[in-house]
Amino acid sequence: MKVDELFGVKGQVAIVTGAASGLGLAMAEGMAQNGATVLMIDIDPKTLEAAAAPLRAAGCKVETASLDVADTAALRGAIDTMAARHGKLDTVFANAGMSSGPGYGLKAGKTAGLLENVSPDTWERVLQVNLTAVLETMRAAVAHMKPRRSGRIVVTASIAGIRAETICGYAYVATKAAVINIVRQAAVELAPHNVLVNAIAPGVFLTNIAGGKLKTDAAVREEFLGLIPMGRIADANEIQGLALFLASPASSYLTGQVIAIDGGITAA
């Protein structure tokens, strides 16, 4: 098989949640620029349309839906509508997520990030977005993939779900660990149906998570840099290769895996 066929996604119908910025936007761009029809989902309509506009101007097939992924009915409605409109659903990136604030290991979080100071309200909201919404995204996608015996589900987890990461808040690490095991369990269930389920576990990327402090606060950025063997924070577009691989025929025998992309952090 030629390289462009092996790693190609042309003609696919794909959905990306949390697609207005950061890793989700990079995933959506990578798919759309390589010939997929992509539904970009995000909570902020203004930011979402601004992100989609350059792709449309470049001739990419991009659609948008502004909704809160914690609204299960709206989320399922958008997924069902996309699948019905195009007659199939090939790949879903369950990417939407949020920070729960700094962990106690960050200088900025030494008080707020302590176990006794976990906010119940924050905990519940992060669970809704990072865990329940991921499950509901997967559930909605599977309804369209199983009958066709074909599909890919890619969940954005985190290296904070693989090991203790004291720079991250408790709700964040808990939800990312949970989605990793959901990925593994779903992968085993869905393997006989040829629906492949995998997780990407990013390390430190330059995104808007944590209130965008990696972009705006030099002190926070330096703290994170000290964790990374490669000595730099990744650009969001560096997720595209792995995302395209997991959506393409090249990953046809890969399921139930959690792939860290972290500049060497988990190897150290």
Catalytic annotation present for 172: yes
Token pair, residue 87, equals 């007659």
Please state, in angstroms and rounded to a whole number, the distance separating the CA atoms of residues 8 and 99. 33
Of the listed 104, 170, 172, 253, which one is catalytic?
172
Q: Which residues belong to the active site?
A: 172
